[in-house]
Amino acid sequence: MAGLGKILILLGGVLVIVGLVLVLSPRIPYIGRLPGDFHIKRDNFEFYFPLATSILLSVLVSGILWVISYFDKK
């Protein structure tokens, strides 16, 4: 049961962080407007693909998870 408690605490922390990011995202500069984010606008069509933002967030999340796993092993 202790393992389930740790997972629920971790999940709660992740939800708090995601909530803060969603609330503060309009104030974070350059997110969604990085070079490499595709935004195509035509007459009746608009396409947006945040490639660079996705890669940046992936690297950040991977780094955070690596640090967590590094300290969890010790």
Q: 3-state class of 27 per DSSP?
A: helix
- pLDDT, tens digit, 9 for 90 and up, residues 1-18: 777 888 888 889 889 988
- Alpha carbons within 13 angstroms on the beta-carbon side of residue 42 total 3
Summarize pLDDT for 25-48 with one digit per residue, the tens.
Answer: 777 777 778 899 999 999 999 999
42 — phi, psi (to 5°)? -120, -170
- Model confidence band, residue 74 (pLDDT cutoffs 50, 70, 90): low
Token pair 């947006």 is at which residue?
48
Q: Which helix (H) or strand (E) holds 44?
A: none
Helix ranges, 1-74 (H): 2-24, 51-73
Query: The pTM is what?
Result: 0.61
